[in-house]
Amino acid sequence: MTHQQIILEKLKSHEAQVVILGLGYVGLPLAVVFAQAGFRVTGIDPLGDKVEAVNRGESYVLDVPSAVLANLVEQGKLRATTDFAALREADAVSICVPTPLRKTGDPDLSYIVSAVEGLAPHVHAGMVVVLESSTYPGTTRELILPRLTMDSGLVVGEDIFLAFSPERVDPGRRDWTTQNTPKVIGGVTSACGEVSAEWYRQALDTVVPVSSTEAAEMAKLLENTFRMVNITLVNELAIMCDRLGVDVWEVIDAAATKPFGFMKFTPGPGIGGHCIPIDPLYLSWKLKSLHYTARFIDLASEINATMPRFSVGKVQDALNDRGKAVKGSRILVLGVAYKPDIDDMRESPALDIIHLLQERGGDVRYHDPHVPSFDQEGWAMESVKDLMGEVGAADAVVIVTNHRAYNYSAILERARLVVDLRNATGAMGTNNPKVVKL
């Protein structure tokens, strides 16, 4: 039997030992889905706290209920470790490590490199490896393939099988999950594509094979660039409507009644999260190395970066209209997560907004039902305990994230001034003298 036939048999019978490298927002739900499909799964993460939590059956990812995790751990289907030696037994490995930006704005591939360096000594014939981390087209073939084959002498597509499959998870979402969101996958060779697609088919509802790793990498960047550019377009629309004295929310709702050829996006104080503001910059970085400027991405990134400052300008003007300055005003920021109903603060515009308000002398506090406290490189704050008391005491309440947990009508009733950057107050806030919208 060929190595391809052996691994395919192991995958179809679920005897293959699965290892997930990186147990974060992406890796933990994926580990759970494979374990639920009947595979024995080991998660490897350098963070001891996460590993211990998984082994105790305690989830730290919103989309994974602790009861589900605990059940899989108890049944011996899922375990976690910090020890890369667990890769010795692995047949199928998925890499779900972070791909942030460096301070310079360039891709930081150090997590992928360190994961692959941890994997390389254990790579063996009949192994399938899939990269899930969002990255620029070419990463799987140019960065990972040589590291896995150089010393081992293994031949890709014959001995080992390497593919890219972008994760599309939308944290906090209930209708589309890791399990039922169609999964694009492309191999370095056609055999790599076949083996990896067969693996994922065992656990996921719909697998969408594409012809290469580059096509799969680029598909993810198209999805995220599409969102980045469109959100930024409506953000700029908000700036233009502000100049024109037109209600941007009314304009968007009106346009959205067109039953074809229009897709509704809503503006806000800036794009956050680990994906939308970052992944497109991986693409523009790669294109620069090919002497091409990705103008849409660069422009969107530039406009998006102005949104926190524009939002603070709205707070400043609203206070000014009431004869107050930001300096010395008590300002309550509602919501610091980057989007509603989750606890993730990565790249959240709330941080810039709080910082800019503090720089202007504002006495800034925040409340977030999902983020009890934060510490960003030594800058620590705690969510206020008495929400409605603070709403009443504040000179301005600034809605940065429209969490569903808030009772907006009670907030409007109690507050003196609400600067609503998300249209969380909807019709209640329109023509309401207390409310200033983005």
Among residues 14, 36, 46, 305, the one that binds ligand NAD under rule CB under 6 A: 46
Indicate the Cα dihedral angle 49, 50, 55, 61, nearest 10°. Answer: 140
**Does the footprint of ligand NAD cover residue 114 (CB under 6 A)?**
yes
CB of 224 to ligand NAD, least distance (A): 8
Contact 232, 41 (CB under 8 A): no
Contact 403, 381 (CB under 8 A): no
Q: Is 360 left (phi over 0), alpha (psi -120 to 50) or beta?
A: alpha
For ligand NAD, the closer CB: 56 or 295 = 56
CB of 312 to ligand NAD, least distance (A): 27
For ligand NAD, the closer CB: 171 or 362 = 171
CB of 4 to ligand NAD, least distance (A): 27
Window 6 to 45, contacts with ligand NAD (CB under 6 A)? 21-27, 44-45
Q: Which of these ranges, 69-77, 126-134, 375-383, 403-411, lies near ligand NAD under the rule CB under 6 A? A: 126-134
| Nearest in space to 279 (alpha carbons), one of 231, 227, 323, 331 | 227
Contact 172, 141 (CB under 8 A): no
CB of 44 to ligand NAD, least distance (A): 5
**Cα 218 from Cα 426, distance rounded (Å):** 37
State residue 365 phi and psi, 5-degree precision: -125, 170
Cβ-based neighbours of 240, under 8 Å, separated by 6 or more:
none
Contact 116, 96 (CB under 8 A): no
What residues are labeled active site?
Answer: 275
Q: Among positive and negative, which fits the CA dihedral 71, 73, 75, 78?
A: positive
**Does the footprint of ligand NAD cover residue 277 (CB under 6 A)?**
no
For ligand NAD, the closer CB: 161 or 282 = 282
**Cα 93 from Cα 7, distance rounded (Å):** 12
Window 150 to 209, contacts with ligand NAD (CB under 6 A)? 167-169, 171
**Does the footprint of ligand NAD cover residue 145 (CB under 6 A)?**
no
Where does residue 196 rank: exposed (0-12), middle (13-18), buried (19+ CB within 10 A)? buried
For ligand NAD, the closer CB: 134 or 304 = 134
- Tell me how many residues contact ligand NAD (CB under 6 A): 29
For ligand NAD, the closer CB: 178 or 202 = 178
For ligand NAD, the closer CB: 38 or 48 = 48
Q: Which of these ranges, 132-140, 205-213, 232-240, 404-412, lies near ligand NAD under the rule CB under 6 A? A: 132-140
CB of 28 to ligand NAD, least distance (A): 8
Residues within the interface to ligand NAD (CB under 6 A): 21-27, 44-47, 50, 96-99, 111, 114-115, 118, 132-134, 167-169, 171, 274-275
